[in-house]
A and B are shown apart, each in its own frame.
With several copies, the nearest count.
Chain A
């Protein structure tokens, strides 16, 4: 298992060995949804956010 830094909060995120580019992970510190941009070395970026309609 390797590690990468969360772009939102800076915490270490543990990565699975069989990680694939395009997967979405949540940071277990801040909960941000992170997209795996590259695998070797691992690069994470904030996942495109689902536009959330809270109703009104």
Chain B
């Protein structure tokens, strides 16, 4: 755990969950943060390492989320609904709140009525900054309520954004996005559908239509997206394949658009049709990292561009993105704590 005297004191609410554990891992290796609290109701008083075996060296025990310590930054990694209910308490305890749930991602109470079950603290919605740094970097410095972008939304937006920026996609163009996700997206809770015998080897349509992330995508990309998600057999990873039908473009046009969008980005890697085994973006290639792989292929026969993007939902899709956003917000090096570059070979991480 980092202990520089200047390090920001930090709490993780929901530290026993999957994204909470990932936050603890990242913060423990980050020079700018010092973890002072990790909460869990179910594992109160147990060592963090008893839940997250990779953190056995961390000398920290879970405490009750009812008793929040005073800290500089509070990361909330709780199920939808908890942060909106406790946001006042969070701000009593901390100067800055970074929320990984969907509770502060949309801009208006109406949007929460439409896509979720309403909102308990709509007065905070204006104050919150949606954090997908490739999109909203400028708004992050100094923000005190950061709403980290959703995993499937992040994968989808990163794949399509260069086309939007380059004027190749209009707001009413038909866009299909077919996403494949790993089992960690479901969180540590589990249930019959996520038991190993039932979840192994699946290609299972889930949220075939009406996925809530459509709201984020529409809001921040300005596109209507016909979105479908499938559960597949991996633990970490989200892969979004976009099918779009723009005016005729060349591969050169596409490369220009994607390079323009991402060549300065520390966490986006363009992969579009090379040689070898790994020719297009795939989750294995970014597992454990905060990288997104983004690419495309041209289908002249069908007047189609296929876009690909792959992230680790635990990282670029949640905890990594949250730390990245905090790095920008606090003026740290953008890649601080997020340097791990991944493994090869690697199975289904």
- Residues of chain A touching chain B, judged by Cβ–Cβ distance below 8 Å, are 8-11, 16, 23-33, 51, 53-56
Q: A9-B252, A26-B274, A55-B185 are in contact. List 10 more A-B contacts (CB 8 A).
A: A8-B251, A8-B255, A25-B45, A25-B46, A26-B46, A30-B270, A54-B229, A55-B189, A56-B102, A56-B185
B59 touches A28 (CB 8 A): yes
Nearest-neighbour CB distance to chain A for B19, whole angstroms, equals: 10
B150 touches A56 (CB 8 A): yes
B274 touches A27 (CB 8 A): yes
Chain B residues with Cβ below 8 Å from A31 are 47, 50, 271-276, 279
Chain B residues with Cβ below 8 Å from A25 are 45-46
A54 touches B206 (CB 8 A): yes
Interface residues of A, dominant DSSP? loop
- Residues of chain B touching chain A, judged by Cβ–Cβ distance below 8 Å, are 45-47, 49-50, 56, 59, 61, 79-80, 102, 117, 150-152, 185-187, 189, 206-207, 211-213, 229, 251-252, 255-256, 259, 270-276, 279
**Among B46, B50, B212, contact of A56 (Cβ-Cβ < 8 Å):** B212
Closest B residue to A49 by beta carbon equals B275
A32 touches B273 (CB 8 A): yes
Query: In whole angstroms, what is the CA distance A10 to B270 when docked?
Result: 13
A28 touches B47 (CB 8 A): yes
29 A-B pairs, CB-CB below 8 angstroms?
A8-B251, A9-B255, A10-B256, A11-B259, A16-B61, A24-B45, A26-B47, A26-B275, A26-B276, A27-B274, A28-B56, A29-B259, A30-B270, A30-B272, A30-B274, A31-B47, A31-B272, A31-B273, A32-B273, A53-B80, A55-B185, A55-B186, A55-B189, A56-B102, A56-B150, A56-B151, A56-B185, A56-B212, A56-B213
